Structure 1
Amino acid sequence: MTERPLQLPSKQAQLSSKLVRDLREKAIEFVLFLAALSSVGVTFAIIGILIEESFLFFQKVSIVEFLTSTTWSPLIADADGKFNYGILPLISGTLVTTAVALLLAVPLGTIAAIYLSEFAKPRVREVVKPALELLAGIPTVVYGYFAFLFVTPLLQKVYPDLPGFNMLSAGLVIGVMIIPYVSSLSEDAMRAVPVHLREGSYAMGATRLQTALRVVLPAAISGISAAYILGISRAVGETMVVAIAAGGQPNLTWNPTEPAQTITAYIVAVSLGDLPYGSLEYETIFAAGLTLVLMTLVFNIGGHFLRKRYREIY
């Protein structure tokens, strides 16, 4: 029995196979490009709508009054029969609740990230990290009622004069809510630090804590700062917690123990379909929304430059 000679594919078959493979890769590349382009397109569409509607608002209200006036009452006239369109009370409420949230979330989230990355055993990490990230899956309305019905009465035992609606309890609960964002991303950034940096630190006689704080943490500061910026953006945009627990009265104050209204709380309070389209009251929603987007954009730009600077240093 004679063996049949091995037949190699013809040159035409090779070219056809290569053409099919190239076309398939081009199609996959095009689909991925459309996916990336769609997210950018949605972002620009949102910003475009906000700018268009806000432009109609600023044709009727001075931008100087909008940015400098200390009274916000676009729906109810004051004693003089005048409607006021100063956004500062909403900005102050947003910044105060965000600051309270960060004062809780940043240290606790960073400590949790250091523990999970440098000290926790693999089996412990497999249990603790998913349990911590589970906090991000709880509906925000549940957090809101938790702040109003549990945290506020608890704080009133320490501060008897604390009102039922206040920014302190809302900010603390928002801080608990964003801990998973800070801890998870920070822990991922710390675990991405090369092992040889840790080994070099141990070889110099440093302890695990010294290595974590003086070697791993500075080396991962770029990713950690990104986690902080994400936490800030999440806190600034929170709606239901502040709408339920912080109160619905615009109040220009920097005292977290007082009630106030945030930008998101105002938007959710008035965008219920009761305002006629095209009215000045309706357009205030978009002006407030544009202000919120610009605030978030400023935080993200600041975080970008911060990450860039630390990349150059480390």
Structure 2
Amino acid sequence: MSVLMILVVLAVLAAAAFVLARQRALASAGGSPRQLHSLPVYYGWFGALAVLVPSLVALVVWLILQPLVLENRISAQLPAALVAEPAKAALTMADVRRVAAGLDAAVAQGAMTDTEAGMIRTEFTNVRDRLAKVGVALGSNVSKEVLAAAQDYREMSHWGAIGRSVLVLGLAALGLAWGVSRAHKDFRARNLVEKAVLGLLMAASSIAILTTVGIVWSMVSETFDFFSKYPIQDFFLSLTWSPNFRGGSDLGIIPLIWGTLYITLVSMLVAVPIGLFAAIYLAEYASRRTRNWVKPLIEIIAGIPTVVFGIFALVTVGPFLRDWFAAPLGLGNSGSSVMTAGIVIGILNIPFISSLSDDIINAVPQSLRDGSLGLGATRSETVRQVVLPAALPGIVGAILMAASRAIGETMIVVMGAGAAAKLSLNPFEAMTTMTVKIVGQLTGDTDFAAPETLVAFALGMTLFVITLCLNIFALWIVRKYREQYE
């Protein structure tokens, strides 16, 4: 039974438990809800939870452990030459899973029976040809050992699916019987259901923490692996970025940091004035009708995909800057440049800064404005000397968060700034960022254990630390701002 079918059966059993538990609780109270400790719906939910909680926990644990157990058992049966190294073992197991899936497809399409698929090692020497007839290509590197392991993998997966169905549905049936039997007028169903909901909320809130821990752990472990193969001082102090998978690479991060910060600076020079002035206008000068029209129009920019911005940079902004500024001034003849990517990323960040700054300015107490106007100040003087200084911590926090977003942008940089890692002050030259190189080093058929591939994790860890520091600083400023005006 497939996982989807198991979930459907569990949903039916949970619905049945809900109805039966509710009816049994009402029957124990003579049909009067006033005699119940809890509302009738709580008894129903208790019955449904009695079915779902143990069965779903067992299903999740089984789905996590079964692949690990199967791969360990199959690896133990394979020749040592096929699993001598971790990378080679991973490729071999990928072939085993692919062949097992091919056997399942052949059985499903009628190219062979289920019994025939289980007799590969003893009777079938033309398995490759028979699978090719139904469009399942095994490849020339599939050996007899891999075919045999695939048959064992398929058979164990089949029995594992049966055991999973029996265990999960058995627990669901026991939970149904137990949940319905506990439904009585004196049973404190509400307390247990609320505890279960509290546990669900705590689990949901823990997902973000566990995800962050997993991301950091994966990057830290691979980063240490990279520094065990490449000198750390060369990575942080070298001025050259020249990866070469055939050897002799120079993986200095300084040109990438320079390109990242340069493009971010240009984007902030575009986004901060426009976004901040738009926020001041909407919060202090615009009428309600104008605000209701202009604010949504500005925020539409945030909903445009970044690939569309990249096309805009490639087709419109880049050629415009090249033809009207770079070429006449003798600063370059390429449409891909720091200026192109920075301007487009700045446009992307305008609604982010505008929306946050607008909310922060509106949060400044009206009494400050009234006091300034009462002393004879004009509206512009009030905005410049009272409102903006009061809202400055929050505005700075919004700017730093926008900078973090600009640092992490990839698609616009790929299409608008090029991929050249260099140190230059010319804003009309092509440069690149750390995020672009992370994608480039992990793209294609590369050796995952090579320093040229592992360097992507070191770049990611460096980028993570930079953006984390910016976000912490921004949150500290915003918190200080909130403490001042709450």
Provide TM-score, normalisation by structure 1. Answer: 0.87
Aligned position for 2:214? 45
In the TM superposition, residue 95 of structure 1 has moved relative to its aligned partner by: 0.4
Moved more, 241-250 or 155-164: 155-164
Spell out, residue by residue over 1:34-65, the C-alpha distance to the aligned partner (whole angstroms, 9 max, x if none): 33321122112111111111110000111111
Distance 1:32 1:220, change over 3 A: farther
In terms of Rg, which structure is larger? Answer: 2
Aligned position for 2:291? 125
Name which of 109, 112, 122 aligns with 2:278: 112
Aligned position for 1:4? none
Give the secondary structure class of the aligned counterpart of 2:452.
helix
Q: Does 1:278 align with 2:449?
A: yes
Aligned position for 2:405? 234
Partner AA of 1:139 in structure 2: P
**Whole-Å separation in 1 of the counterparts to 2:333 and 2:194:** 62
**Whole-Å separation in 1 of the counterparts to 2:380 and 2:245:** 57
Q: Does 1:135 align with 2:135?
A: no
**Whole-Å separation in 1 of the counterparts to 2:320 and 2:461:** 36
Moved more, 198-207 or 99-108: 198-207
Distance 1:296 1:88, change over 3 A: same
- Output the aligned Cα RMSD: 2.4
Distance 1:214 1:34, change over 3 A: farther
Q: Does 1:188 align with 2:354?
A: no
Partner AA of 2:202 in structure 1: F
Do the aligned residues in 2 keep the contact of 1:92 with 1:254 (CA within 8 Å)? no
Aligned position for 2:339? 168
**Whole-Å separation in 2 of the counterparts to 1:23 and 1:220:** 46
Aligned position for 1:302? 473
**Whole-Å separation in 2 of the counterparts to 1:265 and 1:72:** 13
**Bigger RCO of structures 1 and 2 (CA < 8 A, at least 6 apart):** 1
**Whole-Å separation in 1 of the counterparts to 2:268 and 2:250:** 31
**Whole-Å separation in 1 of the counterparts to 2:441 and 2:234:** 21
Spell out, residue by residue over 1:82-132, the C-alpha distance to the aligned partner (whole angstroms, 9 max, x if none): 210111111110000000000111111110110111111111111111111
**Whole-Å separation in 2 of the counterparts to 1:303 and 1:179:** 18
Partner AA of 2:393 in structure 1: S
Provide TM-score, normalisation by structure 2. Answer: 0.58
Q: Does 1:152 align with 2:323?
A: no
In the TM superposition, residue 255 of structure 1 has moved relative to its aligned partner by: 3.0
Do the aligned residues in 2 keep the contact of 1:163 with 1:259 (CA within 8 Å)? no
Do the aligned residues in 1 keep the contact of 2:313 with 2:416 (CA within 8 Å)? yes
**What is the percentage of aligned positions where both structures have the same residue?**
44
In the TM superposition, residue 149 of structure 1 has moved relative to its aligned partner by: 1.6
Distance 1:29 1:123, change over 3 A: farther
Partner AA of 2:453 in structure 1: Y
**Whole-Å separation in 2 of the counterparts to 1:139 and 1:133:** 13
Do the aligned residues in 2 keep the contact of 1:132 with 1:180 (CA within 8 Å)? yes
Structure 1 residue ranges without an equivalent (≥5): 1-8
In the TM superposition, residue 203 of structure 1 has moved relative to its aligned partner by: 1.3
Distance 1:64 1:174, change over 3 A: same
Q: Does 1:263 align with 2:434?
A: yes
Aligned position for 1:56? 225
In the TM superposition, residue 25 of structure 1 has moved relative to its aligned partner by: 5.3
Name which of 202, 205, 230 aligns with 1:36: 205
Aligned position for 1:94? 260
Aligned position for 2:389? 218
Partner AA of 1:194 in structure 2: P
